[in-house]
Amino acid sequence: MSKNTVTSIVLALFGITAWLGAAAPAVILADVVKPNILWITSEDNGVSWVSCYGGTNAKTPSIDQLAAEGFRYLHCFDNAAVCAPTRSCWITGMYGISNGTQPMRSRNLIPHDRIRYYPDLLRAAGYHTSNPGKTDYNIGGRDDKDPWDHKKGELYGWRKRNPGQPFFAVVNIGDSHESRAHGSVDNTRNDPAKMKLFSYHPDLPVIRNNYAKYADAVENMDRKVGDTIKALKQDGLYEDTIIVYNSDHGGVLPRSKRFVYASGVHCPLVVRIPEKYKTFYPADKPGMTVDRIVSFVDMPRTWLSLAGTEIPDTFQGTVFLGKGIEPEPTHHLSFRERADERLDHVRMIRDKRYSYHKNYYPFAPAGQHLAYLWKAPAAPAWEQHHRDGKTDEITGRFFRPRVSEEFYDNAQDFDNVHNLIESEEHQEKIAKLRQALRTKQLALFDSGLLPERMRERRAAANNITIYEMVRDPKLYPLESYLDAADRALSRDRKNLKPFAAQLSDQDEGLRWWAVVGLHLLGQDAAPATKALETALRDESHEVRMMAAWSLVKLGQTDAALACLEELLFTGTTSTEMLHNVLDWMGEPAFPLVKKAMAEGGSTKGKYGISIFGRIAEVNGW
- What does each C-alpha distance from 477 to 110, 149, 445 come to in angstroms? 20, 41, 10
Q: For residue 357, what is the DSSP state? A: E
How far is it, in rounded angstroms, from Cα 360 to Cα 78?
20
**DSSP structure class, residue 183:** S
Cα 344 to chain centroid, rounded: 12
Helix (H, G, I), strand (E, B) or coil at 483: helix
Peptide bond into 543 cis (omega under 30): no
How many CA within 13 A on the CB side of residue 405? 21
CATH of domain 37-328: 3.40.720.10
What pLDDT, on a 0 to 100 scale, did the predictor assign at position 5? 40
Q: What is the mean pLDDT of each run of 10 residues along the chain (621 residues)?
A: 40 36 37 84 98 98 98 98 98 98 98 98 98 98 98 98 97 98 98 98 98 98 98 98 98 97 98 97 98 98 97 98 97 98 98 98 96 98 98 97 97 98 98 98 98 98 98 98 98 98 98 98 98 98 98 98 98 97 97 95 93 96 92
* Interacting residues of 3 by C-beta distance below 8 A, sequence separation 6+: 30
pTM of the predicted structure, to 2 decimals: 0.94
The span from the CA of 616 to the CA of 589, in Å, is: 12
Length of the chain: 621
Taking a C-beta distance cutoff of 8 angstroms, is the pair 384, 456 a contact? Answer: no
Domain ranges of the chain: 1-30, 37-328, 445-585
Backbone angles phi, psi at 485, to 5 degrees: -65, -40
Q: What is the pLDDT of residue 546?
A: 98
Cβ-based neighbour number of residue 371 at 10 Å: 19
